[in-house]
Each structure stands twice: as C-alpha cells, then as structure tokens.
Amino acid sequence: MPKTCGAPEHGGQEEIVLGEARRAEVHIVEGQGSGGAQSVDRALGLLRLVGRQPEEGVPLSALVAMSGLNKPTVRRLMLALIRAGMIEQETGRRRYRLGQESYVLGTLAAVRHGLAEMAGDALADLARDSGDTAFLSVRRGDAAVCLQREEGAYPIRTHALMPGARHPLGVGAGSLAMLAALPPGEAEAVLEANREVLARDYPALPPERLRELAARAREAGYALNPGLVFPDSWGIGVALRRPDGGVAGAVSIAAVAGRMQPPRSEAFAPLLTAAAARIEARLARAYATAPQSEGSGQ
C-alpha cells in the first residue's frame, strides 16, 4: 500500500480523460472554495476510472495520467478509498480494483435494477402466503448481505435481519443456504476465512458446526436456522443459482420461534423452492438476452 504524501490542491475544474482507445471523458465539477467537496469530487472521479477497468485494474501511473492530478494527490485519495473499502490494491502488480464496499453499494442499488427487481413479486408472494417475513440475500465475498425484506401479515415479527445487514456466510438461513450451495472447496475456504470472526462474534457457530449444518441443508434441499443466531428468531432458506450454476443469492423466511416449529417450518420449503424457480427462470432469461461485452472496460 503506498504511503500518503501531502500536497496542496488547486481549485477549478478537472477533466479526467480516458485513453485514446476509449475516447471517453469524465468531467469533475469541483466545489467552489470548498476543499472537502473538491476532494470528494476527485475521489469519486478516480473511483469511476477504476470501475471502467473491472478485470485488469488500473495502475497508479495510469490514474495520474488519466486524471490530470499529481501523484501525491492520487495516492492520498486512493488510500482514503482503500480505507473505506471502496478500492483494493493488488499486492503483486499494485493495480487498483473496486473493493468489497463498492460491491455492497452496487448490490443494494440492485433493489431497483437487478436481482431484487426480478425477485420482488416472488418475495411478496412468499410473505403473503406464509404470513411471515421474506428476505432476499446475496453473497459478498465471505459474507452474506440482506438485500430486501418483505413483511407478512402476522403481527409479531422478527427484526433480526434488515436490508444492508451482513453476517459471515453460513450464519442465518439464507446465508447458510448459499454456503451449502458452494462447491466443497470454496465452502471450506469461506469457513476458514471466517474462523476468527465466528469465534469472536458467533462462538456457538464455529466452522465445524456450520459445516454440519451445510451438509444437512444440501441433503434436505433447504437450510434451517433453528434460533442459532437469536434464540427466538428461526429461519428457512433456499439458494438461488445463476444459469452457470453459480450462487446468485438466496430467498428465506423468518419468524418467531413459535411460528416455525415443525411441521410448519417444513411446509415452507415448497414455497421457497417454487419462488426460487421463478427467480432463476428470470435470471436465465436475463442472461440469455444480455448483450455481450466487447471488452473488460465496457
């Protein structure tokens, strides 16, 4: 990670010009007389430049050339973006890439434009048919993020999971369903990566326990969380798969413990499976009709 170097910044308007092959420009209109607004504008401009090269990443020299900013300023702003999780830097080639927080923000924005839009009516039907709360979750690296929540009619609800909340992959019903749907080697890598956070924040759910629960979920076809995170909050979840078989997310239902005792909890499995099939069919159509990118920066 580069050291920060302080440097005075100048006012005015900066024009960030991408390479000749791209023939695109990004104009950053900076705040008048406001150093804070100026830095924000510049940092966002650099973030956009990195976002235009999602596969290859962008080296510091290219960011300096494309932005017109001096090297100390670019370094300082990139370090701030790294601290915020918006940018990551490769340890080998030292290229900058979008970070995990960029993924989370994009995922949450998908409430309007992506998976959540495809899942909206299926999630509403789950909440209506069960009377309880339905959720859509997605994977974020070694964690799961709640993307959307739909309330049912039953007046007593669990509030253990809200949009934007995240847990280590395997903690919670939808999260456990996603862990169980991963290839064995990848699931093991996730469990090992989360060992420390599980020991600190979820001592009752070490990797060994989650491994057992994931195996049960694979056998049953759904994941059950019998109050393992919060004693009075039970959940059941089913993974969503992309057309290539990869994990796209999960749908789940959660309720207070008294509403989730067998056989009622088992009756939710067909509802979730049917909802997942509807969403996966839409994903398949979206993938089939999506235009193919001609390059990684487009």
pLDDT tens-place string over residues 266-284: 889 999 999 999 999 998 8
Distance from C-alpha of 280 to C-alpha of 289, rounded to nearest angstrom: 14
Q: Which residue has the higher pLDDT, 140 or 123?
A: 123
- Quick check: 116 and 276 in contact, CB under 8 A? no
Strand locations in the chain, DSSP E?
14-17, 25-28, 87-89, 96-98, 133-140, 143-150, 166-168, 223-230, 233-241, 247-256
- Give the Cα-Cα-Cα angle 275, 105, 66 (nearest 5 degrees): 135
Q: Is the pLDDT of residue 290 over 60?
A: no
**Beta strand 247-256 pairing with 133-140:** antiparallel
Q: Is the pLDDT of residue 1 over 80?
A: no
Pick the closest to residue 26 from 10, 41, 11 (CA basis).
Answer: 41
Share the mean pLDDT of the chain.
Answer: 82
pLDDT at 287: 76
Confidence of residue 128 (pLDDT cuts 50, 70, 90): very high
DSSP run (H or E) holding 77: helix 71-83
Give burial (CB, 10 Å; 0-12/13-18/19+) of 283. buried
Please write the tens of the pLDDT for every residue from 72-122: 999 999 999 999 999 998 877 789 999 888 877 776 665 445 888 899 999
Q: Is the pLDDT of residue 6 over 50?
A: no
Give this prediction's pTM.
0.65
Distance from C-alpha of 63 to C-alpha of 75, rounded to nearest angstrom: 10
Pick the closest to residue 12 from 89, 60, 55, 68 (CA basis).
Answer: 68
